[in-house]
Structure 1
Amino acid sequence: MRDLYLRFNDADEMRTQLIAAGFVDDEEQGGLYHPDISLDIVGVITVPAEVINPGEENEVIKYVSLPGFHANLRVTDDSLELASLDAFGVFPDSPYRVWA
């Protein structure tokens, strides 16, 4: 079993690349499906960038979006060849979401 963290330019690129890697767009299954891969579509990640008036009643947190459209894969069949997704791989020190 292996986990992949991927970043695409947008949702359309993610869909196109995952279908090219063997996913099927199956409405019965609720979207993109692969029998040996679990898909977690994270999407756009936003993080706090600035706190205005910290600790006060009128505290405001401003957020920024990180570049890209993110998805996580959990591959249960280690023999699957997914080299076509290598160009989209990212290696975060602290992933935004992980598999339990």
Structure 2
Amino acid sequence: MLCLKNTISSFQHPNIKWNVPKSGYFSCIYVDGNLQYDKVISSLQNDSIELLNTNTCFLKEYKNDHYFRISISKVNENKIKRGIPVVLSTIKKNMKL
């Protein structure tokens, strides 16, 4: 998680908030604004980056397309350092401002 925290610290955006715990495997990205959620997920999958779909975390009537879950359990530090800029760039491209 320390590598993830250090990597995201240099990629700040006013509409993108992070929740990175001190330990564990999961962190969360919150996007404040309109977003093409499905397009972000599919675009990242094309780049071999898989974010966990958070739609299963909400009741159907409270569906929320502003959250992404990141798991670092299957990646090393180099993949985190290379992947996070791609994730943030893809999110920024698909924000409807």
Q: Shorter-chain TM-score: which interval?
A: 0.3 to 0.5
Q: TM-score, normalised to structure 1's length?
A: 0.36
Q: Give the structure with the higher percent strand.
A: 1
Q: TM-score, normalised by structure 2?
A: 0.37
Q: Higher relative CO (CA 8 A, sep ≥ 6), structure 1 or 2? A: 1
